[in-house]
Amino acid sequence: MKDRIGALFGWSVAIGVRRRARMNPDAGPCWAAVVVWGVVNAVNVLQTAGFLSRVRYGMTVNHVLGLVIAALAVPATAALVAYLRAGSGALYWLGPAVFDAFVVFMLVVEYLHPIEFRSPRMPAILVPYLVLFFGSIVLMGLPMFRIDRSLWGVTVVTSALLLASMGYAMFKGVG
């Protein structure tokens, strides 16, 4: 029963996005919009868990979740390529492009050449890190506002959870 509900939800999402995308030829491939929507919400939920895990476990769990977030660059890049090949407007391809830039930057400063830039704060790294991260969230979520407001609403909720968990982690001194 659970699989049927998931399948029905998946089909309803795809059908709703497909209908709205047909009305907006600038939107590009329908599947790419669904993929980007999935990526932005997965990033929001994963990083929410990452912020909350910092309170109890420090950065250990957050670093593992960071690698999962980095893996989401694969579907984001597939959507980016599809958007570019379809000649979609910048509103659609800019989010995945900024997300890919964030992932590359994150991999360098967190994993390949680890630098502690949060505490003590190093604005030269922290500012671009946060601008790329939150910029990608906004830019990946924005197109869904034009395509499907109910799906955009889900992104608003997951983004609010992300910000609340970040605030909580900062309040606890581990933000």
Q: What is the pLDDT of residue 119?
A: 84
Q: Which overall architecture, per CATH, does domain 2-171 show?
A: Up-down Bundle (1.20)
Share of the chain above pLDDT 70, in %: 85
Mean pLDDT of 85-95: 95
Structure tokens given for 64:
């593992």
The pair phi, psi for residue 87, each rounded to 5°, is 75, 30
Mean pLDDT of 9-26: 54
The residue with tokens 């030269």 is 124
Instruction: Delimit the domains of the chain by residue range.
Output: 2-171
Distance from chain centroid for Cα 83: 17
Structure tokens given for 94:
């800019």
The residue with tokens 């400063």 is 109
Q: Decide if 96 contacts 83 (C-beta within 8 A).
A: yes
Q: Decide if 31 contacts 75 (C-beta within 8 A).
A: no
Gap between the Cα atoms of 123 and 54, Å rounded:
21
Please state, rounded to an integer, the average pLDDT across all residues of the chain.
89
pLDDT surpassing 90 at residue 1: no
Q: What is the pLDDT of residue 27?
A: 72
- What does the pLDDT look like over 37-76, one tens digit per residue? 999 999 999 999 999 999 999 999 999 999 999 999 999 9
